[in-house]
Each structure stands twice: as C-alpha cells, then as structure tokens.
Amino acid sequence: MKDMPIRQKKRFRWREMTAWQKEAISVLAFSTAANIALYARIVSLDKAVETSAARYQAQIESAERTRDLAVEQLEAAILQAEGAKQAKILEARKLIINSTSWAADGYTAYTVDENGKKTQLPHFSDLFPGWEMPKA
C-alpha cells in the first residue's frame, strides 16, 4: 500500500462502494436527517413555548390591570356613598340642632315661660358632644 500524504483526502465514489458501505451511509444520512428534523421540532416547540408564555404573561398582566381598575372603581363608589351618607348625616344633624333650644358654648341663655319662670338653656356641647356648632 502506497503512503498517502496526510493532507490528501480520499474521495469515495458511490458506485465503487460495497453494499454494506452504501447501507451504512444511507443509515447515517437518515439518522442525521432525523436528528435535524428532531432539532427543528425542538426549536419550533421552544418558540411555541416562548410565544405561549408571553401570551399567558400578557393575559396575567391584563387580569391584574382589570383587578386594579375594579378596586379603584369600588373605592370611588365607597367614597361617593360615604359622601352621600355624610351629607345625609349633616342634614339630619341640622334638623336635630334646629329642633331644640341651646346656648352657644361660652354664653348663657335662658327661656322664660308664660308664668315668668326662667330656665337656663344647655350649652351646645352638652347636647351634642363632638359635633361642630353651626355658624350663624
């Protein structure tokens, strides 16, 4: 056998190969093609997973924004209801305050009945502790 230089490559010709060499190359080629197809499928699945993850993340963020908006709307409705309730409470206080006689804090006032009996009026803060005295 003649020594071949290291750099020289031996070229195989298909028609010069034996049947088992052709079979081995066919199997290797099929195996390589199958591996390439499998790799392409894995890459495709990875992209699908990334797309699905991004889609789910967007849905989660949308649900969180919806929840936050609902909480804000509920808080606004509560404040509005509390405002309406506060207005009704103040109106009721006004009716109560005006339905009885009282003297402003720091002053002394009296009522006199038809017999001339003089009665001192209670102070506002005695009748309505913690309430704000109305302005004249």
Asked if residue 95 belongs to a domain, the reply is: yes
Tens of pLDDT, residue by residue over 9-25, are: 566 676 677 777 777 77
Are residues 80 and 27 both part of a single domain?
yes
pLDDT exceeds 90 at position 108: yes
Asked if residue 20 belongs to a domain, the reply is: yes
- Residue range of the domain that includes 51: 15-99
Are residues 94 and 109 both part of a single domain?
no
Are residues 24 and 88 both part of a single domain?
yes
- Return the minimum-mean-pLDDT range out of 35-39, 115-119, 121-125: 35-39
- Give the total number of structural domains in the chain: 2
Tens of pLDDT, residue by residue over 33-65, are: 777 888 888 888 888 888 888 888 888 888 888
The pTM assigned to this predicted structure is: 0.40
6, 20, 81, 118, 124 from 3: Cα distances, Å: 9, 26, 101, 142, 124
